[in-house]
Amino acid sequence: MKLNGPRIGLPTSLKSPRSGCGTFMPRKNVQILVIACVVCLLCAYRSSRYARVVTYALEQIEFKALEPKPARKLAEAAIRGMTEVLDPYSSYISEQDLPRFAEELDRQFGGVGIEIFVEPKTRKICVASPLPNTPAQRAGIRPGDIIIAINGESTEGLSLDQAAKKMRGEAGTEVTLTIQTPGEEKPRDVKLKREVIKAETVLGDSRNPDGSWNFVLEEYPDIGYVRLPTFAEDSDKRLREILEQLRKKNIRGLILDLRDDPGGRLEVAVAICDMFIKSGVIVTTRYRDGRIKARYTASGRPVCPDLPLVVLINRYSASASEIVAACLQDHQRAKVVGERSFGKGTVQELIQLEPGMGLLKLTTAAYWRPSGKNIHRMVGADESQEWGVKPDPGWEVPLEKEELETVLRYRALRDIYLPPGSPKPEGFDKIPENFRDRQLDRAVECLQQEIEAASRKEPPANRQLSTIASPVSTIAGISGIREGVG
């Protein structure tokens, strides 16, 4: 059998005994060297064999298929097919999909600033809220308006994603929305110039009249409340600004709400952990063979090292959310309240392929907690095994599906910015009159206990936020997706 692959020659100092010159190598060493060479050749052969099969298949399809496709499309399909047999988080990102991927990663895009939803009964595309200080808000578009057409094309039958894509485009270009306001007889055309829209990456409890967020709880103004819908590029910088604002308000404690946060950039998660702990490991990443890829440690310059803190998580808190919750829990820096997290503890590396061929998003490592425990839930792992982040004992607040949906609806409706005089959007009447977010209520209860315990240990002055420190150096990760914004 002929082996095709790299040729490996013997060392030049190895001579035949018959030549009468050179240095002899013991027979045992020669045997070991030969075996090593054969193994290397076989490994190279096995690898190149399947590469040749794929190449051959591509050639046959290209030359013989009754309905031929461009070689580029065939190559993209082959790469996509290979990633589909890997873990759920590995994928191929084609060149044409790169702009959307960048938008999802950093929550920044060219658009008009409208959050939209599909009205359940009519299936029409409706405005949930115009984002503050955007073309849509300045044009007078209001919650509840129906978007009948985009650039003259009917929106009937469009999904949220399809409608959002049509409204997005390069900043400076124009888009015309045909708007029907309930109660008005005729629709109107609204011409909007797209701008760079930066979706909000740090949210509070309620909106102020100007559309900005209030970062203390309405019922407990001495408790700070911050929600992270994702770990985007600027989430850590924005959080630092908010902590500085809260410092001036002399809050007594903070709730960091990571519920439904699918994750995001690794370096942002590391930077946020660094704001709360004084020293030690934040997170470790390991290759598939267990070797450590990287170890991230605290800078020693925390923003608020002693402020009582509670982290709120649920079954959809994943990836970067789990890194933060696990780090703060392992360092006994925060209590964790809610539900067990999702268990997505893997690192995706972005690999640039040949120019014009996009990116390979490949899972190459896993996250490990400071305690040395695994975060990732492997296929087949049950509830008894170590994965994800569990709430601290006594602070589990599981929700049934119906209650969870009500919480999500309640929060989504509270998040809508309503300009003065705007009617409440449809859906508020479906929230029970005395509805309570039980997980948030328990987080408040837990934090109050932490505040009381801290007050017995040290003077109140020592528990205030310290001077804002400079951010730690970071590396890139992968973000989650939020759809329905145009």
The question of whether 319 is a catalytic residue gets the answer yes
Predicted confidence (pLDDT) per residue in 215-235, tens digit: 999 999 999 999 999 898 899
Predicted confidence (pLDDT) per residue in 459-485, tens digit: 443 444 433 333 332 222 332 323 345
pTM value?
0.75
Parts of the chain belonging to CATH 2.30.42.10: 108-198
Q: Choosing from 236, 344, 415, 437, which is the catalytic residue? A: 344
End-to-end, the C-alpha distance of the chain in Å comes to 61
The question of whether 344 is a catalytic residue gets the answer yes
Distances (CA, A) of 106 to 314, 331, 347, 447: 23, 29, 17, 31
Predicted confidence (pLDDT) per residue in 28-81, tens digit: 454 444 444 444 544 554 556 788 888 888 889 989 999 988 988 988 999 999
Q: Choosing from 205, 261, 274, 330, which is the catalytic residue? A: 330
Bridge-partner residues for 126, per DSSP? 117, 146
Q: Choosing from 90, 91, 319, 321, which is the catalytic residue? A: 319
E strands in 228-269: 253-257
Greater model confidence, 413 or 371? 371
Parts of the chain belonging to CATH 3.90.226.10: 206-463
Average the pLDDT over each of 109-123, 195-209, 283-297, 458-472 and give the range with the smallest value: 458-472
- Pairing type for strands 206-207 and 213-214 reads antiparallel
Question: What's the pLDDT at 424?
Answer: 65
Measuring CA to CA, which residue among 229, 479, 200, 484 is closest to residue 344? 479
Helix 266-274 vs helix 320-330: crossing angle, to nearest 10: 30
Task: Return the CATH fold of 108-198.
Answer: Pdz3 Domain (2.30.42)
Tell me the CATH number of domain 206-463, given options 3.10.560.10, 3.90.650.10, 3.90.226.10, 3.40.50.970.
3.90.226.10
Q: Percent of the chain scored above 70 by pLDDT?
A: 81
The question of whether 236 is a catalytic residue gets the answer no
